Amino acid sequence: MAITQLKHYHSLTIESAISLAKDLSLFDPSENLTCEEIGDGNLNYVFRIASSESGKSIIIKQALPYAKVVGESWPLTLDRARIEARALTLQRSLAERLVPEVYHSDEQLAITIMEDLSHLEIARKGLNKGEIYPSLSKDIGEFLGATLFFTSDYALHPFKKKGYVKEFSNPELCKITEDLVFTDPFFNSETNEFEQALEEEVRNLWDDLPLKLEVAKLKRSFLTEGEALLHGDLHTGSIFAGKEETKVIDPEFAFYGPIGFDLGQFLANLIFQAVVREEKPKKEEILRHIETTWDVFESTFSQFWDQSEDAYTKIDGYLEYVLEKSFADTIGFLGCELIRRTIGLAHVEDLDSVQDEEKRVLYKKTCLALGRECILERHRIRSIQDLLDKLI
């Protein structure tokens, strides 16, 4: 099949994915290729194509014109594939070691062809099994320090930055976050899902007007503060991890937003692990990851700040202001993520896979109470140690 014939969008099959890989000369014409669909995400297809002869393999990720998890009744823009390929390429240019290489992308077909990371494991799955990832938090802190700093006004010429803001305008995927993270869990919405045993806690949240006012402020910040290019969906399911390697995938939600958002999502997903781990050393391991993430983010961001050419970055107190603001936002966004993953549409395996019902409900109540406290108290939680104190 010639590439020209493939130019109009159609969803790939095992056979057409192999033909495409050959047409693009990603393999030798004589190689015997196998292909399987391995996507376990909610939205897209992921094909893995491998050659038995050379051992070489690639990944083709394709967006569908709807969300895979719901079906054709939930249409979703194919433009997310363009955003994902561009974000991967830009993030790799800023944090090469921590992002997969993109070999090819095609807006019409809504595909991104990239490095196969099957030798690593999705961090959420590994953490649930008790795998130890010594460099996970250091790597994510570094990823965030570099990608957030170098896409912000603190680093870029204003024309370049506004060019990126335009390029990464992502209204449909942002709307998913606006609804599922910031609105639906706090109202009696049809998308919510929670067990009967949480009913009372959930009704209390819906009636909690001071809490809702603080969530409104956080949502406002997400809607209006175009500070840096966010990953936009940085949970532990968007991270491949190994003993010595970390790679961040799946930035289809990328857009310009407040710096604390990615940090908050990642930390909340670590907190689910801290909550379900009862043995002290195993819990400790996660607490260290939480601490390291913030510390490495802060030191990486600060080092880059010192090299900035912007006149105001030389003014005493400005860096401290930006970091303090980002920290309070992080704690607030973290609170929203804790709540929405417990009672909203998209849950986490960390909590839902706990078989003992009494424990599961208890862990979920802990997450709801902690989420609420973080949202309300975010300006009084002054350091990562203050947060850790709430988790012990």
Binding-site ranges for ligand ADP (CB under 6 A): 38-44, 46, 59, 61, 100, 114-118, 122, 238, 249-250, 252
Residue 52: strand, helix, or coil: coil
Structure tokens at 185: 């869990």
Decide if 231 contacts 151 (C-beta within 8 A): no
Q: From the CB of 193, what's the least distance to Mg ion, in Å? A: 19
Told to check if 204 binds Mg ion by CB under 5 A, we report no
Q: How many of the other CB atoms lie within 10 Å of CB of 129?
A: 8
C-beta closer to ligand ADP: residue 118 or 385: 118
Q: From the CB of 119, what's the least distance to ligand ADP, in Å? A: 9
Binding residues: 44, 61, 115-117, 233, 250-252, 340
Which residue minimizes CB distance to Mg ion?
41
For residue 267, give the nearest of 321, 365, 217, 334 by alpha carbon.
334
Instruction: Round to whole Å and give the CA distance between 352 and 359.
Output: 11
Binding piece for Mg ion, criterion CB under 5 A, among 37-45, 135-143, 198-206, 276-284: 37-45
Q: What is the CA radius of gyration of the chain?
A: 21
Binding residues for substrate: 233, 340
Told to check if 126 binds Mg ion by CB under 5 A, we report no
Instruction: Round to whole Å and give the CA distance between 75 and 78.
Output: 9
Binding piece for Mg ion, criterion CB under 5 A, among 7-15, 199-207, 245-253, 274-282: 245-253
DSSP 181: I
DSSP 100: P
C-beta closer to ligand ADP: residue 115 or 373: 115
Structure tokens at 244: 């010595």
Site for Mg ion in 41-80 (CB under 5 A): 41
C-beta closer to ligand ADP: residue 239 or 374: 239
Per DSSP, the chain holds a count of helices (H) and strands (E) of 14, 12
Instruction: Round to whole Å and give the CA distance between 213 and 201.
Output: 18
C-beta closer to Mg ion: residue 180 or 384: 180
From the list ligand ADP, Mg ion, none, pick the one residue 100 interacts with, judged by a Cβ distance below 5 to 8 Å according to partner type.
Answer: ligand ADP
Decide if 69 contacts 95 (C-beta within 8 A): no
Told to check if 139 binds Mg ion by CB under 5 A, we report no
C-beta closer to ligand ADP: residue 81 or 211: 81
Binding residues for Mg ion (CB under 5 A)? 41, 118, 250, 252
